[in-house]
Amino acid sequence: MEETSLNQKLIEDPVLDPEKQKKALEYAGIRRRLGFLDTGITLILLLILVFAGVSKWFAGLFNWPEIATAVVFFLVVIAGHEVMTSPLSYYRGFTLPHRYGISIQKLKSWLGDLAKGGAIGIVLGSAAVAVVYAFLLYFPEIWWLLAWVLMLAVSILMSIIAPVFLVPLFYKVKPLPDSELKTRLEKLAQKAGAKVHGIFVLEFSSKETSANAALMGLGRTRRIVISDTLIQQYSTPEIEMVTAHEIGHHMDRDIFRMFIVQSSVSLVVLKILDVVLKTTVTPLGFSGIGDPAALPWLVLLFGALLTLTSPLTNGYTRHLESQADGYALGLTEDSRAFINAMTRLVNQNLGVARPPRWEEVLFYDHPSYYNRIEQARKFEKGR
């Protein structure tokens, strides 16, 4: 009965909700301002550490090896930053999503996720600081190249283990049960010739009201994941369309292509960082690039360079997303299901349908709603 109702359910074609668009603009604007505030606090903290002599004073408190001092300094700075920004984190991560109906997560669960994410960040961050400082001290001429190789290795490892070990820390994950929907999605993958190792369901409904899908993993861990909210609230053709989009990423090897672009950008960023770091450490009073007191300066420069290059990587990601949309339209030949799914998603997730062009270029890693709908209409005309 459940399979039949799923296959036969009829949902009226959605329309863009003007009230939700008003809320979406408010929500996006508040989040953007809070993001700028958080960045400003971080920037001020790092500048004080560097230019007020605090970092040199703190590093001088320890008669330890440089690597150990750098790791301790990193942990103290992270702890101080978290204390300073904790009210902002609570408001942005818990209060605001509840106010706008995006989140239904209980405070205890939210704090648990925050603790798990923080623990992972501290472990990985401490290890990264230790290894990078070893490179700075013992291989000062090529430390940036070694750091780049380390970034590639960690990125590949995280991509492999994320769907198996990391995602289940925050959401319950289970294979899509046998059903008419599973049969149709498997046939869709067969039609595309896609070798995806399973379709899985993420339990979004226990924490949030949004819906989403993604292609995750590498090699044997590569899989399509769909939120349970998508399965519960969307028609079968719409779910097929969203799945076809993810299959498009798989068939076009978008994970690999994005990896190549991000790796190339990271290599350039690290080389520029090496040049600037070696030029500025002595005038700033540091003993060298391996001085633990220079850690805040290194972090500030690296963050600034990543910020400057993010529009480039975001632009390429938007390009890949647009290609995946085109693939999905060609595979399903159902532009109406595409338009319906995009409309329902932007309503449900409080997405801004038509952001200012400058904002889309600088911050968006997906095309805007209107650009995606325009692509679907052009596809229909082309047919």
| Contact between 269 and 148 (Cβ < 8 Å) | no
Same domain for 205 and 80 = no
Same domain for 149 and 291 = yes
Confidence of residue 60 (pLDDT cuts 50, 70, 90): confident
Confidence of residue 11 (pLDDT cuts 50, 70, 90): low
Same domain for 218 and 265 = no
For residue 12, what pLDDT is reported?
64
Q: Which of 249, 274, 292 delimits the end of a domain?
A: 249
User: Which has more confidence, 5 or 37?
Assistant: 37
For a pLDDT cut of 70, what percent of the chain falls above it?
Answer: 97
| Contact between 213 and 225 (Cβ < 8 Å) | yes
Say if residue 10's pLDDT is above 50. Answer: no
Same domain for 131 and 216 = no
Q: Which of 200, 222, 249 delimits the end of a domain?
A: 249
Same domain for 201 and 254 = no
Confidence of residue 196 (pLDDT cuts 50, 70, 90): confident
Same domain for 120 and 55 = yes
| 48: Cβ contacts below 8 Å, ≥ 6 apart | 54
Domain of residue 159: give its range.
2-9+16-172+250-382
Say if residue 9's pLDDT is above 90. Answer: no
Same domain for 152 and 73 = yes
Same domain for 134 and 31 = yes
Same domain for 202 and 74 = no
What is the pTM assigned to this prediction?
0.88
User: Which has more confidence, 256 or 219?
Assistant: 256
Q: How far apart are CA 55 and CA 61, in angstroms?
A: 10
Same domain for 100 and 33 = yes
Say if residue 348's pLDDT is above 90. Answer: yes
For residue 8, what pLDDT is reported?
42
Same domain for 274 and 129 = yes
For the segment 348-353, the average pLDDT, to the nearest whole number, is 94
Say if residue 230's pLDDT is above 50. Answer: yes
Total domains in the fold of the chain: 2
Mean pLDDT rounded to a whole number for the chain? 91
Q: What is the dihedral of CA 162, 166, 168, 173, to 10 degrees?
A: -10
Q: Which of 228, 249, 270 delimits the end of a domain?
A: 249
For residue 382, what pLDDT is reported?
80
